[in-house]
């Protein structure tokens, strides 16, 4: 038995990620990319998957993404300051998945898709904004320190590609581990906001993470195949 034998799947997802801001189309892009480093973060959400046949499915859902960066910039006196930026996004992904069966309970999954989202918060923390020399990422970013900023556009449109593996742990339950690269398709910065500059650089919020999913098949076909599992 494999995923294509069933028609629908509901999945919960948690993804630890590495997030960064990628600069391009500027003479100074290399310098900016060296200054703006990577922060550890996470995404989570749920996914609804519809199978067209055993080897092909379409999925959508709702996802929370905590994007941003962590940079280290000289204070001009020989010391360095750190800024932790968190960009909170509510998003809807659309994905096409190709399933390749390896064994009776194991398959490879190849995924490509797009995602659209709304940026509902941009929170920055550093010595000036929150009195923190070296701010640390906290769960859900619920620290009382920090300030709301206006660096990026209010919308996010991106794409994602990934290759993973899934295995049945029970007749109705499947576990999926899938590395995923997510990249923004448009310039992230808001030219009317605090990221305004005469430098014509393009900045994109990108990430690489490991999607950890647990899925549940809920169609009647399961009951008819339990004895085959």
E-only strand ranges, the chain? 8-24, 36-37, 39-53, 56-74, 80-101, 106-125, 147-148, 155-168, 173-184, 202-217
Q: Using CA atoms, how far apart are residues 182 and 89, in angstroms rounded to an integer?
A: 13
Q: Cβ(56)–Cβ(99) under 8 Å?
A: yes
Where does 3-228 sit in CATH, by number? 2.40.160.20
Digit-coded pLDDT (tens) for 52-95 = 888 999 999 999 999 999 987 766 677 777 889 999 999 999 99
Chain length of the chain:
229
The yes-or-no verdict on residue 229 having pLDDT over 60 is no
What token pair was written down for 73?
Answer: 């910039």
Report H helices in the chain: 29-35, 127-130, 221-225
Digit-coded pLDDT (tens) for 87-128 = 999 999 999 999 999 988 899 999 999 999 999 999 888 877
State residue 130 phi and psi, 5-degree precision: -135, 0
Q: Using CA atoms, how far apart are residues 166 and 175, in angstroms rounded to an integer?
A: 5
What token pair was written down for 43?
Answer: 């995404």
Residue 222, classed as helix, strand or coil, is: helix
The yes-or-no verdict on residue 224 having pLDDT over 60 is no
Q: Using CA atoms, how far apart are residues 20 and 152, in angstroms rounded to an integer?
A: 14
CA dihedral sign, ordered 76, 78, 189, 139: negative
3-state percent breakdown (helix, strand, coil) of the chain, nearest 5? 10, 60, 30
Give the domain ranges of the chain. 3-228
Digit-coded pLDDT (tens) for 156-194 = 999 999 999 999 898 889 999 999 999 999 999 887 766
State the pTM of this model.
Answer: 0.85
Q: Using CA atoms, how far apart are residues 50 and 61, in angstroms rounded to an integer?
A: 11
């Amino acid at each position: 038995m494999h995923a294509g034998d069933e028609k629908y799947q509901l999945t919960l997802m948690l993804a630890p990620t590495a997030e960064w801001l990628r600069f391009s189309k500027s003479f100074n892009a290399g310098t900016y990319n060296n200054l703006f480093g990577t922060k550890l973060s996470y995404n989570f959400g749920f996914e609804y998957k519809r199978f067209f046949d055993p080897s092909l499915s379409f999925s959508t859902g709702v996802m929370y993404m905590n994007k941003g960066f962590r940079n280290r910039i000289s204070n001009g006196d020989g010391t360095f300051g750190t800024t932790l930026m968190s960009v909170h996004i509510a998003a809807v992904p659309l994905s096409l998945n190709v399933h390749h069966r390896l064994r009776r309970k194991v398959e490879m999954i190849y995924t490509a898709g797009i995602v659209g989202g709304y940026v509902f918060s941009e929170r920055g923390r550093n010595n000036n904004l929150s009195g923190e020399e070296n701010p640390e990422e906290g769960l859900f970013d619920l620290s009382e320190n920090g300030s709301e900023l206006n660096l990026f556009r209010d919308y996010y449109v991106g794409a994602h590609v990934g290759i993973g593996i899934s295995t049945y742990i029970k007749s109705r339950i499947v576990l999926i581990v899938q590395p995923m690269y997510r990249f923004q398709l448009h310039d992230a910065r808001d030219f009317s906001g605090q990221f305004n500059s005469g430098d014509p650089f393009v900045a994109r919020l990108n990430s690489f993470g490991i999607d950890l999913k647990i899925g549940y098949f809920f169609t009647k076909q399961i009951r008819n195949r339990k004895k085959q599992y």
